[in-house]
Amino acid sequence: MRDRKRIHCKKCGQAYSKIAWSLLPIVESVGATEVRAIVRGWPDGTSVEVRRCRRCRESIPAMVTSAPVASGGAGAGVARKSRLQLVR
């Protein structure tokens, strides 16, 4: 059984922590507006990032949810990546 807290390459099985996955090279990033054009009910602030597996070079997609930072103080209103999910 695979660890659900890790992101796995479907081709070679290499497992990445969410932090390790975020450090892989980005192949493509598809914003929420683009996805919403073809997927009904796509959640606001959720995009899809595709990164390259370090072992076999296969593309690994994951949903990335951005959450706004609380107002006031440094970085107010700036979105930050807060959650990754494997796209199945």
Q: Does the pLDDT at position 27 exceed 80? A: yes
Q: What is the pLDDT of residue 66?
A: 79
Q: Is residue 39 within 8 Å of residue 48, measured between CB atoms?
A: no
Percent share of the chain, pLDDT over 90: 62
The tally of CA atoms less than 13 A away on the side-chain side of residue 84 is: 20
Q: What is the mean pLDDT of the chain?
A: 81
pTM of the shown model: 0.69
